[in-house]
Amino acid sequence: MLEKPAILGGFPVFKDTVPIVKPPIGPYIKRILADFECVLESGMITNFEYVGKLEKAVAAYVGVDNCVATASCTSGLMLTIKALNVKDGEVVIPSFTFPATAHAVYWNNLKIKLADCNPETFNLDTVDLQEKITTKCRVIIPVNIFGNPCNVDEIIEVAKDRHVKVVFDSAHAFGAQYRGAKVGQFGDAEVFSGSPTKAFTTVEGGLVTTNSTEIARKVEIGRNYGHHGDYNCETAGLSARMSELHAALGLNLLPKVSSDIRRRNEIAERYRRQLSKLPGIGFQEVTSNCTSTYKDFAILVDAKAFGLNRDELAVCLQRENITTKKYFYPPLHMQNCYPELRADDKAFPNTSAIANNVLCLPMFSELTSEQVNGVVEAITRIQEHVKEIKVVLRR
């Protein structure tokens, strides 16, 4: 029998809090600060030399003709949808996703149509997708959940049959691969996030990748209020430029993306190998032809088999100084801001089952094997003491 968990009065596994994410900036601070100094001395703070260099470097890394940097993934999605010239109709998105996917559709004054997710991969379910597409559908926005690539071939085939556009929300997936090809070169366009939680970060920012010169041109104009530089707006755009500071940081981190993703996959395999020994712990499936970025490492907690539900396990891990997140809870069909999308669990059974039971554990490239082992030890000793813990939690 292991020591008692902290919630029962034992010592926490960790003295200091283990964060759920940590941007891999530490080793590059001096280089980044030197670039920051160059930017600040130049007086050109936004959308200039470093942004242009980052766009070219990302396009080359992904393998596309065009990359346009934006202020965020959300603004990138908004502008990309607008660039498709869709005037009305429906956009199919998964209910199991971050709310920004829906917000981008809403801000384009298009109707959100939700689809269920695949219970193994957590990504858009292609069977339900075909059922949800009507003659009003104009765009499909699949999401590469937690950096796990979607079933690209099936989604593209469905889109061609129905004559609709495809924009991949690849916020989590920079550096992921599908059938040996980098995510970022599929569909009409893909949009990445550079926020601090991602495997590749610019701290804040977004990246739109596409082989369409016209989409790239429209996004580039749209990020600058909608004009070419003459203040005569071609379209109603946004203030969505990436700063030179964010681009400079991204340029310093880009060369290490592939090694960071390899490390994340090693961490994921260690988690999976050790936690699979416990009852009631399930995992997101990554198919053999894909490489995930593991933006998050998610477990599914079967309360009956494990002995505690997801929320109870999260409380226990917090007492062990381990940070966790319930991504994505609530799902879109339960979000307060979209009452018109509200539905019960039966409407989206896979999404509801995952959203109600998913828990994301610490995951970042600098996470040590000792820390991973500590997280596993904490979950193991919690599971061994579930009867006592239930008494404490349910008083």
- Tens-digit pLDDT profile for residues 14-52: 999 999 999 999 899 999 999 999 999 999 999 899 999
Q: Quick one: pLDDT at residue 395?
A: 77
Mean pLDDT of the chain: 97
Rounded to 10 deg, the angle between the 310-319 and 386-393 helix axes is 90
What is the CATH number that goes with domain 6-23+257-393?
A: 3.90.1150.10
pLDDT tens digits, residue range 315-340?
A: 999 999 999 999 999 999 999 999 99
Across the range 231-240, mean pLDDT stands at 96
The token pair that represents 236 in the structure block: 């109603």
pLDDT at residue 37, rounded to an integer = 97
Dmax (CA) for the chain in angstroms is 72
Burial (CB < 10 A; 0-12, 13-18, 19+), residue 174, is buried
| Residue range(s) in the chain whose domain bears CATH number 3.40.640.10 | 26-255
Report pLDDT digits (tens) over 80-118: 999 999 989 999 999 999 999 999 999 999 999 999 999
Q: Residues of CATH 3.90.1150.10 domain(s) within the chain?
A: 6-23+257-393
Domain range 26-255, CATH architecture: 3-Layer(aba) Sandwich (3.40)
Q: What confidence score (pLDDT) does residue 99 get?
A: 98
Local structure of 78: helix, strand or coil: helix
pTM over 0.95: yes
* Neighbour tally for 251: CB within 10 Å: 19
SS3 182: strand
Q: What is the mean pLDDT of residues 284-299?
A: 97
